[in-house]
Amino acid sequence: MTIKLSDIYSNYLHAKTRQFGRQDVLSIFWDSHKQYKYDILQMLDSAIADKDVEKLSFCIGASFRDGLDQDYSDKIYKIMLDTWHEEHEDLVDIIIILKDDRFCDSLLRIALDQETYRKFDDENESTLRKCVHALKAINSKRSLDLLAKLIETENSNVQFALEMYK
């Protein structure tokens, strides 16, 4: 018997107050292999329409575990630079998987605009580093040109992220 996504989401919302937490609720997706994809995509549409941060966070976690593919690309593109949420680092992780060239300019903007998109980055600038990895993963002429612009900033975290590719 398959558990409904709405029931999983309900448990997710209540997991903040329980001992084990949200990651345990999301563990149901480890073996689902896109079983919930259609439902997650519908819930993601709802999260975007309602600007519901909790639901967006759930959909991101569920989609990672259930299995991401290009069907998520349009929805992620739509909210990539929105400021009603603060899920930019997780969205960059999705782009690393999707390798979609149309995200290149958004990645550069996130990498360069710490005040708006990287509020939680510390001195290691994890979101910036992930932008570097996403541009490398996309590996198009456009992504490599924008990566060159990031290199020109002489930011040590850009250099650090690129070290793994040598």
Q: Which amino acid is at 98?
A: L
More confident residue, 2 or 84: 84
How does residue 17 score in pLDDT terms, banded at 50, 70 and 90? low
Instruction: State the pTM of this model.
Output: 0.90
Q: What is the pLDDT of residues 136-155, one digit of tens each?
A: 999 999 999 999 999 999 99
Indicate the SS3 state at residue 91.
helix
Angle at 81 between CA 14 and CA 64, to 5 degrees: 45
φ/ψ region of 68 (left if φ > 0, alpha if ψ in -120 to 50, else beta) reads beta
How does residue 80 score in pLDDT terms, banded at 50, 70 and 90? very high
The residue among 65, 158, 76, 146 whose CA lies nearest residue 114 is 158
Q: Compute the mean pLDDT over every residue in the chain, rounded to the nearest whole number.
A: 92
Q: Do residues 87 and 56 make contact, with C-beta atoms less than 8 angstroms apart?
A: yes
Q: Measure CA of the first residue to CA of the last residue in the chain; give whole Å.
A: 48
The residue among 123, 68, 54 whose CA lies nearest residue 100 is 68
How confident is the model at residue 73, as a pLDDT?
A: 97
